[in-house]
C-alpha cells in the first residue's frame, strides 16, 4: 500500500510526496516533508527516525539519526558540497572536498 498523504479528488500529487509505504510484510515507512517538499523526517522499521534540515536553496544541511549521531553538510558559495562533519561514533571525522576549475571533485 502506498499513500501520498493528500486527500481530495482530482488533486495532482508528485511521486516525491509519498507519505507512507507498507511493504509485503506489513512494515511501514513514513515520510514527512516541509512546504518545499524537502524530506525532513524518515521513519523506517527497526532503524528509528532520521531527521533532515535544509537551507533556503533546498540543500541538505544536517541529518540526525536515532542513535543520536548526526552529519552536518556545509556548502561553498558556488553551491557545491564543501564539508561533511560527523558526530556520534564518528565524532570529529570530517570530509573536505576541493574542486578543479571545471567544478569536478579533486582526488587527494
Question: What pLDDT sits at residue 12?
Answer: 54
Phi, psi of 94, rounded to the nearest 5 degrees: -145, 135
Which sequence spans correspond to the domains of the chain? 2-96
**Residue ranges in the chain whose pLDDT is less than 50:** 1-4, 6-11
d(CA 66, CA 100): 36
Question: What pLDDT sits at residue 75?
Answer: 94
Question: What pLDDT sits at residue 37?
Answer: 85
d(CA 98, CA 82): 7
Question: What pLDDT sits at residue 84?
Answer: 92
Amino acid at each position: 500500500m502506498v499513500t501520498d498523504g493528500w486527500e481530495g479528488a482530482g488533486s495532482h500529487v508528485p511521486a516525491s510526496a509519498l507519505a507512507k509505504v507498507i511493504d509485503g510484510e506489513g512494515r511501514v515507512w513514513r515520510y514527512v516533508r516541509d512546504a518545499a517538499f524537502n524530506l525532513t523526517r524518515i521513519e523506517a522499521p527497526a532503524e528509528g527516525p532520521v531527521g533532515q534540515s535544509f537551507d533556503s536553496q533546498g540543500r541538505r544541511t544536517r541529518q540526525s539519526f536515532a542513535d543520536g549521531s548526526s552529519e552536518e553538510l556545509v556548502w561553498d558559495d558556488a553551491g557545491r558540497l564543501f564539508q561533511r562533519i560527523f558526530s556520534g561514533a564518528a565524532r570529529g571525522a570530517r570530509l573536505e572536498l576541493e574542486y578543479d576549475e571545471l567544478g569536478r571533485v579533486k582526488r587527494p
